[in-house]
Amino acid sequence: MRFYDEMTPAEGGVRPHYAQYAQWLAQQPPDTIRAKREEAEVIFRRVGITFAVYGDEAGTERLIPFDLIPRIIPAAEWKQLEAGLKQRVTALNRFIHDVYHDQDILKAGIVPTEQVFGNAQFRPEMMGIDLPHHVYAQIAGIDIVRAENAQGEGEYFVLEDNLRVPSGVSYMLENRRMMMRLFPELFARHSIAPVAHYPDLLLEKLRAVAPSSASEPTVVVLTPGMYNSAYFEHAFLAQQMGVELVEGQDLFVKDDFVYMRTTQGPQRVDVIYRRIDDDFLDPKVFRADSAIGCAGLMRAYRAGNVNLANAIGTGVADDKSIYPYVPDMIAFYLGEKALLNNVPTRMCREPDSLAYVLEHLPELVVKEVHGAGGYGMLIGPAATRAEIAAFAEKIKAHPHHYIAQPTLALSTCPTYVESGIAPRHLDLRPFVLSGKTVSIVPGGLTRVALAEGSLVVNSSQGGGTKDTWVLEK
């Protein structure tokens, strides 16, 4: 299989947007780079950019491996990506609003009704609630991959939409800080679009979606607590925005308003950027055993006295079974053609597709509709015959639980590994912010699969990260 490399074309040489960097890299003595790598690790530990590992002894925190070679995106490519991302997220927000209101798209027969109502992420509690600016996913993480198309060009595809509680933006910001600290000279040579204003933009969007009754809205970040694996990010964002980082126990609801317990008595809360799944938000409505939520929150939300980011029930739109319909949504709501392509996807619930999938399993990637984090999937080319046979049985038993896609030749980028510099596969997660308007900071989080040949970039499965540079010219 041929892979598109971000830096090096198949015919040799270096792509133009990497030329200056490659020249610089060639001049760096290996010792310098090794020293910089060690320096980066020490700094990450001191700053505490770690993630807790479940099951390990309390206090064990790991670093997500950080690679020093940036992923560089030329200005023109980013412009297209940006337009495509804005378009996609706008349509997704329209879709969620529609699902919880008039359901025009279902009536028009564009998205099958059972795909919505049969989805566990569909929340009937949300029916008829009007949200400020009709925005449901204030923060969206859209996973983008790149693969070589028929013309031998690198083409971007959307792999997945994350509309619930997408994470990773703190790594995007810290990776940039680290690169600027380690290699200031590179930033002097290149014209790299800055990303550090993300928290500012986020705060602007969160304030923009406050209930209209709040003139000076109080925004908080709701975390499950310091032992959550993404705690660093929650604390980081709260601090960068200058808002309180609260836990469920800090909040209470009285007369359908949400308050936090402060040293000066109760204080009203208007917008909650929650980093907790729907199921745990309100023990009175969802899981009764949740100790990290706030009882009565849903009532306050329904009454329009508090807003949540993201809204409850956004999962209805980022499910893998809804994903194939996103281009149709864009056409339906915006009357436009999708600027970003989906990966061609077969839904096993359709008999024709099922037959095709079962016949071609060794070439395909099969995913569970509700799976996340790279779990519960089959990568055909990397699987043994026995694994394929076992997976085929699972698909036959529950066809509607699975979708299948061709195995994408994910693009690679040179990366530091044990033996030196070698190509490794990567993806990109830009963060799209919606409030009164839609904004994106240039780039996003680049994740890289550090094991040779691996296509799984998730940090829970040994993935690392890189700084992402969008060139301004």
When the beta carbons of 264 and 419 are compared against another protein, the nearer one is 264
Q: With beta carbons less than 8 A apart as the criterion, state whether 234 and 220 touch.
A: no
Our CB check for another protein shows the closer of 245 and 450 to be 245
Nearest approach in angstroms of CB 44 to another protein is: 11
- Residue 246 contacts another protein per CB under 8 A: yes
Does the footprint of another protein cover residue 149 (CB under 8 A)?
Answer: no
Q: Residue 44 or residue 100: which is nearer to another protein going by CB? A: 44
For another protein, which is the closer residue by CB, 98 or 233? 233
Chain position carrying tokens 């378009």: 87
Rounded to a whole number of angstroms, the minimum distance from the CB of residue 61 to another protein is 10
Question: For another protein, what does the binding mask look like between residues 17 and 56, x meaning CB under 8 A?
Answer: ----------------------------xxxx--------
Nearer to another protein, 145 or 246 (CB): 246
Applying CB under 8 A, the span of 108-116, 182-190, 245-253, 421-429 interacting with another protein comes to: 245-253
Asked if 354 and 403 count as a contact pair (C-beta separation under 8 A), the reply is no
Closest CB to another protein among residues 46, 337: 46
Task: Using DSSP bridges, classify how beta strands 251-254 and 257-262 pair: parallel, antiparallel or unpaired.
Answer: antiparallel
- Residues 88-127: x where in contact with another protein by CB under 8 A, - otherwise, as a string: ----------------------------------------
Residue 399's Cβ-count burial label (10 Å; 0-12, 13-18, 19+) is middle
Q: Judged by CB, which is closer to another protein: 212, or 263?
A: 263
At 231, which amino acid appears?
Y
Six-digit token string for 203: 């705060």
Segment (H or E) for 387:
helix 385-397
DSSP letter string, 30-89: HHHHHHHHHHHHHHHHHHT--EE-TTSPTT-EEPPPEEEEEEEE-HHHHHHHHHHHHHHH
Residue of 199, 198, 197, 219 lying closest to 208 (CA atoms): 219
Q: 7: which DSSP letter? A: S
Looking up tokens 């491996």 gives 65
If binding is defined by CB under 8 A, does position 59 make contact with another protein?
A: yes
- Minimum distance from residue 182 beta carbon to another protein (Å): 17
The smaller minimum CB distance to another protein, of residues 244 and 256, is found at 244
Determine if 250 is a binding residue for another protein (CB under 8 A).
yes
**209-228 footprint of another protein as x/- string (CB under 8 A):** ------------x----x--
Residue 268 as a binder of another protein (CB under 8 A): the answer is no
Hey, is 259 helix, strand or coil? strand
Q: Give me the half-sphere count of Cα atoms (radius 13 Å) on the Cβ side of residue 11.
A: 3
**In a 10 Å sphere around its CB, with 0-12 CB exposed, 13-18 middle and 19+ buried, how is residue 125 labelled?**
middle
Give the C-alpha separation, 454 to 377, whole Å. Answer: 14
* CB of residue 48 to another protein, shortest distance in Å: 5
Assess 245 for contact with another protein (CB under 8 A).
Answer: yes
As measured in angstroms, the least distance from the Cβ of 272 to another protein is 14
Distance CA 121, CA 125 (A): 11
Closer to another protein by CB, 40 or 245: give it.
245
Is it true that the peptide bond before 119 is cis, omega within 30 degrees of 0? no
Chain positions contacting another protein, by CB under 8 A: 45-48, 59, 221, 226, 231, 235-236, 238-239, 243-247, 249-250, 260-265
